[in-house]
Structures are given as C-alpha cells and as structure tokens.
Structure 1
Amino acid sequence: MAYEFIQTENREGVYIVTMHDPATRNALGPQMADEMMECLDNFEDDPACRVLLLTGTEPSFCSGANVRGFSQRIQDREAGKVDGPDASGEPLPWGKMESRYASRGQKVALGGQASRVPLRIHKLQKPSIAAVNGHAIGVGMGVALACDIRYTAEKTVFSEAFSRMGLIPGDGSCWQLPRLIGMSNTLLLQYTGDRIDGAEAYRLGIASKLLPDDELFDASLELATRLAKGATQSHALIKYLVHKSLFMEFEDALDLAHVAQEQVRMTEDHKEAVQAFLEKRPAEFKGR
C-alpha cells in the first residue's frame, strides 16, 4: 500500500516503517499519524510481518509535532472553536485533572497524534525496534520510547522539548522515561528540554546500543531479522508479562507466568524447539 508520509517494506518478516516527510524533518502531523495508525494495524494483522523496525528519512528520526498546528489551535480556542474538556482555556488545579475526561478513549482522541501513535506502538503484540538515526524531538522521542528496543546512532539528538514550548509531554514519556532512567533524570530532561546525544542516551539507558552512524540500520535490521526468525508467540507473551509484572507482586507475577507457560507449551514452535534440540540442529520456528 502506498502512503504519502511513510514508507513500508516487509523484508523477511521484518516490517520496516520509515517516517518520510523531509520538508518537516519527519514531523508527526495528522496525516502521517493517520498513515502510521493504518500501517501498524496492518502489521499487527499480517502473520507474515513478525517484527516492527521503525526509522526515519535522514537526517531526522522524527522532529516532533508540526508546530504550525499549535498556532491554529490557539486561534481556534480563542475563537471558541475547540470542543471537549479543554475548551474553556482555564487551567485546572492538580486534584481535578484526573476527572476531566469521561473515558480513556476520549483522552486518547483529544491527545491526537501525540498520544495515539505511541500508544498503538506500545500495545503491539509483536516486537518493535526503533533505529533512531537522527533528531528525535518531543513526540519523536516519545515514538522511539514506545518501541520495545532502541538502537541509536552517535549523531542522534534526543530532546523532551515540550516545556520549551510551554507544554507537557503528552506522548506517554512521563510513563516511559522513569521506568528506563529513573525519576530524577526524567525530570531533569523534561524540565529543561535539553538536548542529549546518542552517547548520553545510551549511558542513561534510553538506548540499548550505541552505533556508528553508518552501522545503525544494518545492526538494527540484523536484530529484527533474528527476532523475526524466533518463536513469535513466546515474544508476544514475554512482552505481555514484562508489562503486567511492573504493577504486580512477585508471587502474582509468577502465577501469571505459569498460565502463560502452559499456553506456549501447546504451540508447534515449542514442539519444534524440543525436537531440534534432541536432533542437534537449529530450530525452524513458524509462529504457531
């Protein structure tokens, strides 16, 4: 399927998605977000696509939101054209913000591309890898954080730039970042909006691997291809367990893991792995 602002390719089970809007350095505007949502749904539904590899057209990964849209929204609010709980333009005290929205779906809808794309990536039942090959600014950083694994180039620039625009991170990074680098480092990056390079992102734990610029994509593709040849049902349940276990007692996490283990014991891939071990040969997983 042809898109205007993204490029897609299935390469041996690796679904490569490239954010492609050179004029804006791959800013995540509404149309790109629509295309991303559609292609991610297609990826999830296609058994031939086993791993997502997300990157951007050089020199950026994703430069963030399209700031021109901010000006229009300010004008619309001042003209009374904004619907929803934030239409009044009056800031709320902390204690009243939680009840502002009627439903979780309404929250995401009003959050627009800043929340719906990272959320869709986060909820994928297949592995996702971000090859962060250039500027990952604001929601661009949030998109990278939503992926399971991040490889970064030395030249890459990360920034939680929201506060510099008088905004807050609406892309889920307030949830993602503390789990990766702790609360203090998260607040430092989000208060200041300072830019950090790939080496600092790797040191902090934002990226799993730091690579020379010209080796990033090949290394990311190598990992993605390796995972695509693996036991994909195991991958899906591992991801589920890791996310669920963040909010569980240890014993409860073990109980849930036991249930999941019984599920994968029934798969053809488990049977193939055992047989391959006994026959001293590499297993050939089918994702079943």
Structure 2
Amino acid sequence: MLSDPDSIDIPKSYETVSLTDVNVSHYPIGAPEATPVVVVTLNRPGKNNAFTLEMMHAFEKIYAMLDVDERVKVVVLTGAGKMFCAGADLERGFSGLEKERNKDHRDSGGRLTLAIHRCRKPTIAALQGSAVGLGMTMTLPAAIRIGCQKSKYGFVFPRRGLTMESSSSFFLPRLIGFSNALYLLTTGGTFPPNSPHFGTLFQETYPEPEQVVSRALELAKEIAESVSPMASYLSRELIWRNPGTAEETHLVDSAVLYHMFSARDSMEGVKAFFEKRQPKFKATLENDAPPSFPWWSEIDFGRKPKASKPKL
C-alpha cells in the first residue's frame, strides 16, 4: 500500500529555489513568477556537468514541484557550458554509496529519470553538447530530444565495466528498437546524433549549440500555447502504460477517449479551432481526469525506511 505523499510547497518564482549543481530559470529569464516554460540546467560546467547525488536530489525536488504547478506547461532540460553531461562523476567514484542490501539499493540515476518520467509536464531535452552514459539515459523519458551535430553521444557503460542504469533498459529499446539498442550497448561507442544507430532518438539536430537551445525554447513555447496539458499527458501515458495487447489497449483508450469527448479542454479546443484563435486550456488531472485514471497499478519503488540513530 502506498503511503500518502508529503505536501509540496510551490514557489512563486523557481529562480529563487536553492539547488546544488542545478539551475532553474523562467522563460523569459527574470520573470517575477513561474512561466509556462521553465528551463532546468545542469550546472557543473567546470566538470562537464558530470552527475552527482546533489543533482538527483535537485531533480526529485524540482520535478515534484513542476508536476503539480499548473502555471508550468513545458520543461526544457539543458546543460551549462560546452558539454551536456559527461555521465557519472567518475572522480568521485562510488565510495559515497550507502551500505545496504543489494535488493534494497535504488540507482540514483534511476531516481532522477523517474522524477522526469512521472512528471505530467513534458520535457524537451536540449543536448547542446556531447553526452554519454547517465547523460544520455536521463534524457530517455523526455518527450523530445534535440541534439547538436558537432557533438558525440553514446551509451558507454560496457567500456566502463558497467551495465545499463536509470531504467534505460526499459526506455531505450522502446524508443529506437532492440536492434539499435543492442548495437549501442554492445559497442559502447559514441556517435553524432544523426547516426543511423540512434534511429529517431534525436527528433531534430542542429549545427550549433545555440541553435539547439533556441529551437527547444521555440518548440516549448509553441506547445505551451497550443496543446492541452492534460490531453498531452494522458496521450503519453497511453503509450508508456500500454497494457500489452491490442484488445486490452482498445478497452483502455476507449474509456479515456469517451471521457475526453465531453471534457472542457475538448470543447475549448474545438471552439478555438472554429474561432481561429489560440485555445485556453484549463483542465487539470485533479479536477478533470477520466474516471479510469490511472488505469495501471501504481508501484511503490521506494526503499524500506530505516530507524534513525538514537540521540545520545
């Protein structure tokens, strides 16, 4: 049985939220309150944005806020400096891992990735520079990935004596097919984003890093202005939470669609179309979700709590 989650305090401005190794800004930057597009930036440029436990905690904190903040419609994820993310910080190694039973361990990259995956707001990953390992797997739950043609990307785990992490064995083959995924994980090589080995992992690529980020922001703005957040989220969940057969899927999407026909976002979308104007979508999961939502069984993937050390 899942326990009740702690309440989340939504900040007036995300630019005032204190985080380590991660920066959050509005678009446009400096807006006094949260904007429809929020930019999350990996912020260790001196270390090529190599992943830290502080980043994991920052993502779990900020994505939980973005998930329930109705002011925010789209998240753009990018990196500071020349590289998007060099993967795990190998200089720190794994010495900081807590001693625990093998089956109780929860991969820190996986916790970051699931924070993105479970957020109802879509993420556009703007990989303005090269990325390997965890730098790649953290982008897999994003709805859109945009790469730089001058950069190299790869799943280099076998070249470091490691296996896949961050739930990437779930995401990667579903995004690019088993054949491409097996090639990337067997060779551990790095390739430009338009390499055939990536399939359509990168939906768009651009020559310059600035173009990557600019396009991501442009696309995020368009989505925020034109797309129903609830319809978009439910559509993505119908893909990821697919029951597995055509018949079962028919039952699930029929129930969701039937509800959406008479939902207020549908009526607003049709009205805006005929009136030739931008829609003003206001439906929320809390107030307007289909009765069948969620149609999957929630999984408690947390660790068992431990007793705190007694105070002497």
Q: Could you tell me which amino acid in structure 1 is paired with residue 88 of structure 2? A: A
Structure 2 residue identity aligned to 1:10: H
Checking the alignment, whether the CA contact within 8 Å between 2:66 and 2:119 is kept in structure 1 is: no
Answer whether contact 2:66 2:121 (CA < 8 A) is retained: no
User: Any unmatched runs of 5+ in structure 1?
Assistant: 86-100
Task: Report the TM-score, using the length of structure 1 for normalisation.
Answer: 0.83
Partners of 1:137 and 1:160 within 8 A in 2 = yes
Distance 1:83 1:244, change over 3 A: closer
**What are the within-5 Å matches in structure 2 for residues 92-241 of structure 1?**
101=103, 106=104, 110-200=105-195, 204-213=199-208, 214-229=210-225, 230-241=227-238
Question: Alpha-carbon deviations, 1:104-147, whole Å to 9, x = none?
Answer: xx4xxx23322111122122222111001112110110011121
SS in 2 for 1:144: coil
Instruction: Tell me: CA distance 1:280–1:188, structure 2 relative to 1, closer, same or farther (3 Å).
Output: closer
Distance in 1 of aligned mates of 2:68 and 2:251: 29
* 8 Å contact from structure 1 (residues 202, 210) kept in 2: no
Please list every run of at least 4 consecutive aligned residues from structure 1 whose deviation after the TM superposition is greater than 6 angstroms. Answer: none
- Supply the AA of the counterpart residue of 2:67: E
AA partner of residue 83 (structure 1):
E
Spell out, residue by residue over 1:82-117, the C-alpha distance to the aligned partner (whole angstroms, 9 max, x if none): 3212xxxxxxxxxxxxxxx3xxxx4xxx23322111
1:51-89 deviation line (CA, Å, top 9, x unaligned): 11100012111111111332526xx8xxxx83212xxxx
Percent identity (aligned): 27
CA distance in 2, matches of 1:176, 1:250: 20
User: Structure 2 CA distance, aligned partners of 1:234 and 1:6?
Assistant: 29
Offset, 1:16: 0.8
Q: Which has the higher helix share?
A: 1
1:55 to 67, 78, 84: 78
Tell me how many residue pairs correspond in the alignment. Answer: 259
Moved more, 166-175 or 256-265: 256-265
Q: Take 1:16 and 1:201, find their aligned partners in 2: how far apart are those partners? A: 29
> In 2, are the aligned partners of 1:14 and 1:50 still within 8 Å (CA)?
yes
Q: For residues 118 and 242 of structure 1, what CA distance do their matches in structure 2 show? A: 17
Larger RCO: Structure 1 or Structure 2 (Cα < 8 Å, ≥ 6 residues apart)? Answer: 1
Distance 1:231 1:202, change over 3 A: farther
* Partner Cα separation in structure 2 for residue 71 and residue 35 of structure 1: 19
Q: Deviations over 1:141-200 (max 9, x none)?
A: 001112121011112221111111111011222222211222222122112211111221
37, 42, 48: which one aligns with 1:14: 37
Does the CA-based 8 Å contact 2:176-2:201 persist in structure 1?
Answer: yes
What letter matches 2:53 in structure 1?
P
